[in-house]
Amino acid sequence: MRKSNNYSGQTLVLLLVFVVIAMLITTAVLTMTTINSGATDKVYQGTTALDIAESGAETAMIKIIRDPSYSGETVAIGNGEAVITVTGSNPKIITSKGDLNNFSRRVEVTVDFTNNIATVTSWKEIQ
C-alpha cells in the first residue's frame, strides 16, 4: 500500500510567498529612493539659491568700492540670478535675493565706509 503525500505543492506556495515578499520590499526600496532623491534635489536648489544671493552681495560690495553711487542691478549667476538693491549712504545696506527655479533666498549686508575702507558690520539671511 502506498502512502499519500499531502504535502505536494507546499513548496510552490512557499516559493510564491517569498517572491511576493521580495517584490514588495524591492518596490518599497525603489519608492523610498525616488522620494529621497527629490528631497535632496530641493535641498540642493535651496542651498544654491543662498549661494547666488551671497555672490550678489559680494558683487555689490566690489561695485560700491569702485562706484559709491552704485544702487543695484540684476546679475545672472550660474543657472540663477541675483537681484541686488543698495540703500542708505553710510552705512550702506545691500539686499541680495538669489533665485533658482522656484527657490529664493535673501541676504542683507550692512557695510560701513570710513576713510575709504569698507567694513562689513552685519551679514545675515533674511526672509
At 96 the pLDDT is 96
At 3 the pLDDT is 60
4 is a domain residue:
no
Q: Which residue has the cell 543657472?
A: 79
At 66 the pLDDT is 87
Q: How many CB atoms lie within 10 A of CB 73?
A: 14
At 127 the pLDDT is 84
Strands 72-77 and 92-100: unpaired
At 27 the pLDDT is 92
Q: Which residues form the domain of 49? A: 10-126
81 is a domain residue:
yes
- Count of domains forming the chain: 1
101 is a domain residue:
yes
CATH number at residue 65: 3.30.1300.30
Mean pLDDT for back-to-back runs of 10 residues, the chain (127 residues): 64 89 92 81 88 94 88 91 92 94 93 84 91
At 110 the pLDDT is 95
2 is a domain residue:
no
Cα 16 to Cα 5, 10, 30, 66, 125, distances in angstroms = 20, 10, 21, 75, 56
